[in-house]
Amino acid sequence: MKWIGVLGLLLCSLTVSAHNLRIGFGTHKPPYIFEDEDRGLEHDIVMSAARHGGLQPTAYYAPLERLNMMLRKGQLDAIAATNELNGGDIVYSHSYIRYQNVAVALRSRNLEIQQISDLARYSVNAFQRARFLLGAEFQRMAQANPRYREEAFQIARNRMLYSGRVDVVVTDMRILRYFNREVYTQVDVTQPLTLFPIFAANDYKLGCREWALCERFNLGLAELRKTGEYAQIEGRYAIY
């Protein structure tokens, strides 16, 4: 009987452990991720959906390249803000958020950009793994453009844009506008910009090591939408 009790405790422990979810989020990118505050539009949606799916999520923050490496090594169970274009031997949840990336340049540069391939003529700075997540045409441009770079930290992209150290940045405008508040004493953020809407909207998903985790997340996400909590989370960040 004693061994049966011990075995029961072990099984319970494994069951609880199986419900833990180590989620990797990208670095500080308000309003989607407020890293130091464990909140943000994307953070709150993902964490709440996971809880509604019966999971116990813990958030980890790192640059996207490192997150992908951690996932491959089994140091994380899932990563946020990804999709099938990212590649890798993982499975993907339903879409939980949509980003709208644009190419942005100082208006004073008078750049001509009508399609993604036009970026090949300029120096370009984008977020990590943009070369995969923004599609095949963007990947071809990135591979052929010696002046293409990816930067983990959005605040650096703001500095480079307004200081003229790069011709074009690729970003979501909500993130760019937020970081203007943090760099306005370093660079002139009042300079007029030109936006080039050459990208389709990106639906982002959770990338999981196991399908069962994505399935639980999907159930939680459906519940989040059904109860109206998803809309409430959106409302909290509408000012951005």
Q: What is the pLDDT tens value at each position of the chain, 240 positions in all? A: 444 333 343 333 334 344 899 999 999 999 999 999 999 999 999 999 999 999 999 999 999 999 999 999 999 999 999 999 998 889 999 999 999 999 999 999 999 999 999 999 999 999 999 999 999 999 999 999 999 999 999 999 999 999 999 999 999 999 999 999 999 999 999 999 999 999 999 999 999 999 999 999 999 999 999 999 999 999 999 998
Tell me, yes or no, whether 9 lies in a domain.
no
Residue 24's CB is within 10 A of a number of other CB atoms, namely 26
* CA 51, chain centre distance (Å): 19
Tokens linked to 30: 């308000």
Residue 211: which region, alpha, beta or left (left: phi > 0; alpha: psi -120 to 50)? alpha
Task: Indicate if 178 and 65 belong to the same structural domain.
Answer: no
Domain shared by 113 and 189, yes or no = yes
Q: Structure pTM?
A: 0.87
Encoding tokens for residue 102? Answer: 């644009």
- 120 and 169 belong to one structural domain: yes
Name 97's Cβ contacts closer than 8 Å, sequence gap at least 6.
32, 41, 42, 45, 81, 203, 204
Residues 148 and 91 in one domain: no
Same-domain check for residues 80 and 121? no
- Is the domain of 27 the same as that of 57? yes
- The DSSP symbol for 31 reads T
Q: Are 71 and 197 in contact (CB under 8 A)?
A: no
Both structure tokens of 148: 């293409």
